[in-house]
Structure 1
């Protein structure tokens, strides 16, 4: 990677928040964006703030301001969109704080000074933005959690599930979790399953690396690790059909194997996310 490789990151914070990415860590997102040694030229995130609620709920106001300051401390520029309320003819009130246009315009205006763009969203409205950025010569990558537009995934140069990136989304009930270490809780996908034998293999991203394209854990430079899984460790909700889909994200604990040196086994395997559920 050349020293002047310029990267821009644009986060649709509200879309991510409501689609599985609540509590996403901006420090880990920054590390992921810089994994190939490029210059982080732009770090932009677009957040909503309910000014009307803040006037009545001081705790909400305090938490919002504290969170924004924490994100700024990690070096991000925040564009705050004020929540607006609309009342229809039946008296129903809806709220909206859409930052799509701001994010799209910023990405396009800054594209000439970027080599790679990382979009963090699941919104299919960015499809044309992706095409335009690619036509300007930018490589476009995408991170999303739930409800990610299928067309958007197919249009970008690379899509990464935010559930699978180490520590990007914390394990809420494991505060001191050390992702990938024996005894830790991780998320991964099933790569092989032998139903007749009652076991298979799961795969986790063990580290943030420029070699994410080396998906075979047997390769020395691969950042992925293979984990043995016995059928007895599967929760009832984890069916064979779900295991056969790479879009099924599993959450489980990893421990050292008693049968294989340096090997890992999966325990307490449960469903974290699936497009089929």
Structure 2
């Protein structure tokens, strides 16, 4: 990745998309290492993490991650997920955060030199184009090393630089959890790159510590 020492950097993480990509690469993200990585590359102005959550749940296994990020320099953006049943009778949970990411990125872009987006969603292509017209460089981090690929071709083409998460895994990865219940929960959550997933079991837990 190419960064310049005095660049003002903003990092935007589509939580569900990053989780799905990392899981496909058989890795878990160390969010402390991730934040430190970008803080050392330039002037890290803000690092956002976006995720949808079950609003009425007594306890969500996602909560430890959210709390940790909130106390450790991340800007958290959350909203309640929408639940419905598909044609096969499966409970589908929709948690798309595209609008929230777009609004924040456009608002902050006036004060940035470099935007980093963790997502492979092709819907962001026009957003990235608009950011680039403001003179801001854009790096996309996702993966085409997975089957299927997690990065939309149009988004990859639009970016100033594209980085495959598989090639920088040592910068962000931590040892995978040995907790059998956590591993089973992660296996049973079938995410797609748009932040939608089928739940056959409870929510996953992703404690970064």
TM-score, structure 1 as length reference: 0.54
Rg larger for: 1
User: Residue 48 in 1 paired to residue 47 in 2?
Assistant: no
Root-mean-square deviation (Å) = 2.3
Asked if the contact 2:128/2:158 (under 8 Å) is kept, the reply is yes
How many equivalent pairs are there? Answer: 166
Q: Distance in 2 between matches of 1:26 and 1:173?
A: 15
Larger deviation: 102-111 or 159-168?
159-168
**Paired residue for 2:62?**
64
- Structure 2 CA distance for aligned equivalents of residues 156 and 35 of structure 1: 22
8 Å contact from structure 1 (residues 81, 98) kept in 2: no
1:123-272 aligned at under 5 Å gives the runs 123-145=121-143, 146=146, 147-165=150-168, 166-172=170-176
Alignment CA distance shift 1:133-1:16 (3 Å): same
Structure 1 residues 164 and 90, CA gap change in structure 2 (3 angstroms): closer
Higher helix proportion, which one? 2
Q: Which structure 2 residue ranges, 5 or more long, are not aligned?
A: 179-209
- Corresponding position: 1:9 with 2:16: no
Cα offset, 1:87, TM superposition:
4.2
CA distance in 2, matches of 1:31, 1:108: 24
2:112 aligned residue:
114
Give unpaired runs (5+ residues) of structure 1: 175-277
Q: C-alpha displacement at 1:73, in angstroms?
A: 2.9
**TM-score (norm: length of structure 2):** 0.70
- Alignment counterpart, residue 82 of structure 2, candidates 81, 84, 90: 84
Query: More strand by proportion, 1 or 2?
Result: 1
Structure 2 CA distance, aligned partners of 1:171 and 1:148? 24
